[in-house]
Amino acid sequence: MNSYQVILSLAAKAFSISLPLCKETFFSAEMEDHLVQHYQELMKESSRLPLLDLKKLNAPLPISSVPRSTLQVLVLGASDDFIVDAEGLNETARFYGVSPVCIKGVAHDVMLDRSWEKGADVVLLWLNSLNKQNLV
């Protein structure tokens, strides 16, 4: 997906009227059309605002780094994500000073995609690692 399609899909909310564009934007190719259509209807109803604010695209970059804190952050991405690419995932991880985790074979909406268990497993492992750190 090119940047024009991302802007069309998110800023103009074209995903809400085009099943193929919705699928390409948020889900893996293997996702069944009837499920994509179900989520498309839910997303259409959930917000009247654009998902991408074009006015903010000219915001000054890079922004300053986050101050060190005790807050633990998981930066999680998906290999088939057409909205946040590998560069964006890595950039976000660098910003927070952590290593990124990229799940293979899923798209942007990991939690709704066919292989959602892959994302759930990563989050569970990460949460368990936090529990172990707190026990020490």
Write down the pLDDT at residue 28.
Answer: 86
Q: Is the pLDDT of residue 8 over 70?
A: no
Write down the pLDDT at residue 9.
Answer: 58
74-108 residue pLDDT tens = 999 999 888 888 998 999 999 888 999 999 989 88
Write down the pLDDT at residue 128.
Answer: 93
Q: From CA 106, how far away is CA 113, in angstroms rounded?
A: 7
55-76 residue pLDDT tens = 665 566 566 666 666 678 999 9
Banded model confidence at residue 18, pLDDT cuts 50, 70, 90: confident
Q: Is the pLDDT of residue 26 over 90?
A: no
Q: Is the pLDDT of residue 121 over 90?
A: yes
Work out the number of other CB atoms within 10 angstroms of the CB of residue 8: 18
Write down the pLDDT at residue 2.
Answer: 61
Q: From CA 81, how far away is CA 38, in angstroms rounded?
A: 20
C-alpha separations of 93 from 46, 58, 77, 129 in Å: 29, 22, 10, 18
Question: Taking residues 27-44, what's their average pLDDT?
Answer: 88
Q: Domain coordinates of the chain in residue numbers?
A: 1-59, 64-136
